[in-house]
């Protein structure tokens, strides 16, 4: 950990104090005591950096309570007794009713050679990592003072503004702003209707009331006239379509009536021709032999 602190040079440390490495944990397979576990907290605390302690694992509840109680005392620099005071959960800490726990007879399989090998590998990994940044943190400097504003405040209202000074006040067309005095250019760039929904500058009276200029009323009247004219044009187009439809219907109806009248006229003429043919006498064939 000393090499880690030297490499990264942290400005604060967050330490998670998981209790599943204690002896007698239901899931953990380690054999640490409370004093050995708290040595980590004491080591990190000696670096005199802002330290935030967090909880973590731990599946034997009575040992987790013991561990975090003792490590809180170590973080505060206080010594506490090994005998537990009587409380509502006193029976959970039997049969010894003590703060510290005893390690089990588990064999330590971490050989010195194995630990040295892991340490060497960690040092090599730290050497390959980028070191801590060497740039010192500094406060952001304040914005530069705007000289134009000072000139405007100190300027004499009776003096005429030069062309150069007036050109500086003109904002470019590609500059976007949400201020009310630049609403006209923003509306024109967005392609909105001319004279519609434009923001006009407002003037405050001595009483503090806001007066709307006459241009806004004129814009409203223009907008109303434009709407009326567009509605009239739409009505005229609809009337023209209706007239064309009626003409086509009338022409088709006239053709049908003419055909029906022609059929009625043809029927009586055919009947008369048939009656004439029936009333006319049959032709007589003269015998040429009798005449002779």
Q: pLDDT digits over 174-184, tens only?
A: 665 555 554 45
- Split at pLDDT 50, 70, 90, the class of 145 is low
Check residues 133 and 116 and name the one with the higher pLDDT. 116
The reply to whether omega before 95 is within 30° of 0 (cis) is: yes
pTM of the model: 0.46
- Split at pLDDT 50, 70, 90, the class of 162 is confident
What pLDDT is attached to residue 286? 43
Give the bridge partners for 204, in sequence order: 210
Q: Is the Cβ–Cβ distance between 61 and 55 less than 8 Å? A: no
Mean pLDDT score of the chain:
74
Q: Which of 86, 6, 78, 3 is nearest to 41 (CA)?
A: 78
Extract the tokens encoding 168: 């500086």
Provide mean pLDDT across the span 71-75. 96
Round to whole Å and give the CA distance between 64 and 22: 9
What pLDDT is attached to residue 238? 79
Instruction: Of 91-105, 232-246, 270-284, give the lowest mean pLDDT range.
Output: 270-284
Q: Which of 66, 61, 75, 62 is nearest to 15 (CA)?
A: 75
Domain residue ranges in the chain: 2-103
Q: Is the Cβ–Cβ distance between 30 and 22 less than 8 Å? A: yes
Round to whole Å and give the CA distance between 200 and 149: 24
Q: Is the Cβ–Cβ distance between 27 and 35 less than 8 Å? A: no
Strand duo 210-211 + 51-54: pairing: unpaired
75: pLDDT strictly greater than 80: yes
Give strand ranges (E) for 197-268.
203-204, 210-211
Provide mean pLDDT across the span 99-123. 92
What pLDDT is attached to residue 290? 42
Extract the tokens encoding 95: 């049969």
Check residues 265 and 175 and name the one with the higher pLDDT. 175
What is the chain's alpha carbon radius of gyration, rounded to the nearest angstrom? 53
Instruction: Of 9-13, 139-143, 239-243, 273-277, give the lowest mean pLDDT range.
Output: 273-277
């Amino acid at each position: 950990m000393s090499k880690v602190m030297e490499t990264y040079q942290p400005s604060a440390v967050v330490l998670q104090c998981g209790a599943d490495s204690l002896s007698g944990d239901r899931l953990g397979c380690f054999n640490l005591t409370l004093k050995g576990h708290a040595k980590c907290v004491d080591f990190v605390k000696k670096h005199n950096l802002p330290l935030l302690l967090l909880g973590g694992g731990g599946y034997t509840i009575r040992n987790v309570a013991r561990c975090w109680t003792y490590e809180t005392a170590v973080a505060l620099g206080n010594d506490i007794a090994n005998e537990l005071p009587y409380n509502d959960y006193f029976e959970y800490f039997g049969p010894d009713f003590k703060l510290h726990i005893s390690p089990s007879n588990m064999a330590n399989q971490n050989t010195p050679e194995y630990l040295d090998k892991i340490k060497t590998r960690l040092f090599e990994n730290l050497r390959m990592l980028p070191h801590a940044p060497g740039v010192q943190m500094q406060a952001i400097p304040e914005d530069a003072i705007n000289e134009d504003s000072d000139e405007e405040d100190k300027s004499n209202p009776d003096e005429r503004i030069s062309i150069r000074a007036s050109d500086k006040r003109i904002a470019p067309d590609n500059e976007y702003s949400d201020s009310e005095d630049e609403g006209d250019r923003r509306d024109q760039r967005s392609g909105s209707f001319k004279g519609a929904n434009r923001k006009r500058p407002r003037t405050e009276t001595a009483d503090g009331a806001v007066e709307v200029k006459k241009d806004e009323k004129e814009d409203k009247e223009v907008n109303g006239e434009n709407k009326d004219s567009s509605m009239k044009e739409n009505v005229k187009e609809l009337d023209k379509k209706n007239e064309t439809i009626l003409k086509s219907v009338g022409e088709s109806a006239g053709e049908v009536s003419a055909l029906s009248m022609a059929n009625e006229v043809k029927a009586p003429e055919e009947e008369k021709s048939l009656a004439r043919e029936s009333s006319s006498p049959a032709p007589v064939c003269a015998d040429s032999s009798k005449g002779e």
